Amino acid sequence: MKKHVMSGLVLAASLAAPAFALEHEVVIDHAEGPIAADYQGTVTVETRQVGTAGVAGRPSTLACQWNARLEVERVATLGEAFRSQRMLREDNVANGTRPGWCETQNKAIDRIVEGRRDTIRTAMLALVEQDRAALLAEADSAASGTRG
């Protein structure tokens, strides 16, 4: 019995499923022209099975720990000469623990993550703002390389 429980724990330990996607667009003024940046965010929920199922008469410590990660892909263009792509990531935008097996908690976890959509969108906008300086530096570097 222990082998079956342990194999189930290992199997569920790193399951990940996309919860929902986010989009955002920005146009940044630059000396060479406007930079158009498209951001595509995806929230992925990872689960990890912890504890053990209790035998008759003993309480179960079985629980599903989950963590939501935000990954944002940015594609930016400046005219025909400049195209930049970058992946941004924010771990732990939401997390929690649910009692029982992870397989039976997926829908409940997805509802919790969906309920935190505003918080996750705020985290995405913070990543977009942090990316602004890097994007401008890339555009400046590309523009100085084409002037030569």
What is the spatial distance between Cα 102 and Cα 106, in angstroms, rounded to a whole number? 6
Specify burial of residue 100 (Cβ count, 10 A radius: 0-12, 13-18, 19+).
middle
Query: Domain count of the chain?
Result: 1
Average pLDDT value for the chain: 84
Residue 11 pLDDT > 50, yes or no?
no
Domain of 113, in residue numbers: 2-147
Confidence category of residue 5, pLDDT binned at 50, 70, 90 = very low
Helix pair 106-115, 117-147: axis angle to 10 deg: 70
User: 6 or 41: whose pLDDT is higher?
Assistant: 41
- CA torsion, points 39, 128, 72, 141, in degrees to nearest 10? 80
User: 133 or 1: whose pLDDT is higher?
Assistant: 133
Query: For the chain, what percent of residues have pLDDT higher than 90?
Result: 63
What is the spatial distance between Cα 66 and Cα 59, in angstroms, rounded to a whole number? 22
pLDDT of residue 19: 55
Which helix (H) or strand (E) segment is 16 a member of? strand 16-28
Query: For the chain, what percent of residues have pLDDT higher than 70?
Result: 83
What is the spatial distance between Cα 137 and Cα 142, in angstroms, rounded to a whole number? 9
